Amino acid sequence: MTSGTLLYRAKKPPALRLSSDASPNKPGESVHIRGHADAPVTLEEYGDFQCPPCGKLAGPIKELEKDYGNSLRVIFHNFPLIVHQHAIRAACAAEAAGLQGKFWEMHDAIYNEQAQWSKAPDVQPLFNAYAGLLGLDVKRFQEDMNSDKIKERVSTDQKHGASLGIQTTPTIFLNNRAVDPVDLAPDRLRKLVDAAVKEAALGKASPVATAPAK
């Protein structure tokens, strides 16, 4: 455990193969983004819905979104680990809700109720209940959860994350730079976001290059 945050590992991770000017986004593919499109700071997460540290970080990340407003946008990618029995089903539930325009609402509900569904022998009734509370067409939701289309979306996220060298959750990038695991404690992550927002504001206020001295 480091700074109150435990990383869940599939196996010992290699160094992330992501340079500071490379994007972990998947060009041309649908990604889940919450926040202003022109936000100067992007927090990008590869998460597992059944991972307790991911669940504990979900609330603080949402608080960051609220506090920094148009200065911060958040992107989420599924990275369910095989050590978690219901992680793939939870990812499919979020993606199925996304087909009805409620990905983030289901994302929040699943994390909020993690302690309940993660111990259930059958998660489908609970996910159906969340879908109903969100006003979704529950029959369609259940069909979509079991569809090849949704399973492929989750699999694509997993493969993309693996191609970056990701093997732990949560893995977070801040403006395309991997956040060190010791900085995933909520207070330390907030400091990093705050510094990034201030740096972006300073960059906008100052010219990139100055005129040569005469």
Tokens linked to 15: 């160094």
Write the burial class of residue 134 (CB in 10 Å: 0-12 exposed, 13-18 middle, 19+ buried).
middle
Asked if 103 contacts 92 with a C-beta cutoff of 8 angstroms, the reply is: no
Length of the chain equals 214
In the chain, domain spans: 8-12+30-190
77's enclosing H/E stretch is strand 72-78
**Model pTM score:** 0.83
Tokens linked to 122: 């059958």
CATH number 2.60.40.10 is the correct assignment for the domain at 8-12+30-190: no
* pLDDT tens-digit map of 153-205: 999 999 999 999 999 999 999 999 999 999 999 999 999 999 999 999 887 64
156: Cβ–Cβ under 8 A, 6 or more apart, which residues? 26, 29
* pLDDT tens-digit map of 39-49: 999 999 999 99
Asked if 47 contacts 62 with a C-beta cutoff of 8 angstroms, the reply is: no
